[in-house]
Structure 1
Amino acid sequence: MAYSPGGSGIVRLTADYKVRADGVLEVVETIDYAYERNGHRLDRALQVRRPADTGNLLTGSAQRGRDRVWKITGITATDATGAAVAVDVSERDPLLPPYTGGSVDGWDSRLADLRVKIGPDLPSVDASPGVAERPRSTTFVLRYQVRGALERVGHDYELNWPDRHRVASGDESDELDAPTPEIRLEVPGELVTAGCAGYYAVAENFRRTRPTSPCSTTQDAPRQARFSSQRKNSTVTVTARIPRSSVEDGGALYDDPPVPRSAWITRALAGAAVLAGMWGVIAGTQRRQRSRRLIS
């Protein structure tokens, strides 16, 4: 069964982005969350790997190549009062079956996400027909830092978070659809350009598509901007350019993709064959030496 986080319980997500002079993006997300009948705690999925070639992220890749990666650190969470809440972080194994059925294994798609579980589980409630569901809502504040959120574009750096290619790829995972009415941005140098795109989920014929929706940009100051979704329940991706001189260490991060399990099996078999061959040589040498001693 493909991993599917419980992000569908997110009612509203607003975010504050701050690009530091060292190229790290600081993120603060305020998440209104509605527990469903099962009482499962919030699962927030943060994208950390995809193929660098964005031609089609979901059809798989026959060749090894560079992957676009994001390094996420400093993950903490609080409730609305500022009290710390439990956070459980694990990376979704890219060797496991991906979200879609278009690939043989996770290495073919090379998508990976951090699974951030926030807060406690609650007792499940009666789901019998006719029993009304009582809303169980709360607010969490999630904080983390991202290295690799900037990309070099001409003489500038461009912010790319969350990854617009993944959101627009056709991935049907529901955790990509966190309703995001507003994102606020602060950068170390004056903004060159700033813009955003909205996406909303449409479920039809057992498939989920994600058409674009209007998103407005308001520049409040030379280094600050706000991005607002113009359609209810749409998610938002942000792009903003800043001069390269305003950031000491920016630029996208790339990494070789994980080695598929089949490759490890092949390597193990090859290693076993080499060992068997070496043992055969040693055994043959010992037999010849014994034969010479008997003859002499």
Structure 2
Amino acid sequence: MDWDKLRIFHAVADAGSLTHAGDALHLSQSAVSRQIRALEDALGTTLFHRHARGLILTEQGELLFEATSTMAKKLDSAAARIRDSEEEVFGELKVTTTVGFGTLWLTPRLSKLYERYPELKIDLLLEERVLDLPMREADVAIRMKEPSQADLVRKRLLTLRMRLYATPTYLDAVGRPESLADLERHRLICQNPATPQVHAGAQLAHMVMAQDVHSMLTVNSYFGVLQGVLNHIGIGILPDYLTVDFPEIERVLPEIESVEVPVFLAYPEELRQSRRVTAFRDFVQEEIIAYRRQQTGEPSLD
């Protein structure tokens, strides 16, 4: 059906007059009459009874007016929500990031985002596979390398490194290594270098394994590695962003660390004006700033 003809029909049915509807639509009476006749021809039915006192809807006209009234209400509601979106953020947002960062850093902070925007619906996709943002597999990505796809807005959030950590309880029991060679008498906890992960983490694992480590626990996620460390099983290879949220772990061999790993936030150019994307981007950047202050011991601005 022609949307323009339906709009004119609704105005006529609402006003009960071709003249009044024409005034509201800034159309001549004859133009309105032609559109109504064309709609009746298209539907093969009569929509109005013509009387001296005005127009009265037929049974078929009543059915159509009920439908257009529902449409008008939904359109008015949508328009109101769009206007309100200047102040409010709502709807679904698909966010993708790695299992480690999403589980250990992002998810614990999302309660603050929901407090700010209670109607936001986040679909969090945690996987090492790089999703295709231009093809809208996700709206926003946080990745451990700069995205290579074209037509993306990208923002560098921070730089991290993979380092060695253990609990004081474990180190007090087994001893604190003073050199890389000392690791051969310790249990190493890490991701298997063959599993999908941050390349810098795999490189560091290869270097430590070369020390003829006799006992190991390999897990396919940094969440699992962290649990092994927290339960005093051994020395784990973990990203340094965990030290703020897990101050009970202690860095081992401070001179040993991976190369820098850049962390980027990216989203399609077409979503640059999206309120949901802007709200999420600003929230993550605020949390990164707060995280850096905690890391360096700077006082909070709260």
TM-score under structure 1 length normalisation: 0.22
Looking at secondary structure, tell me which structure has more strand per residue. 1
The answer to which structure, 1 or 2, has the higher relative contact order (CA under 8 A, 6+ apart) is 1
Q: Which has the larger radius of gyration?
A: 2
TM-score under structure 2 length normalisation: 0.22
Looking at secondary structure, tell me which structure has more helix per residue. 2
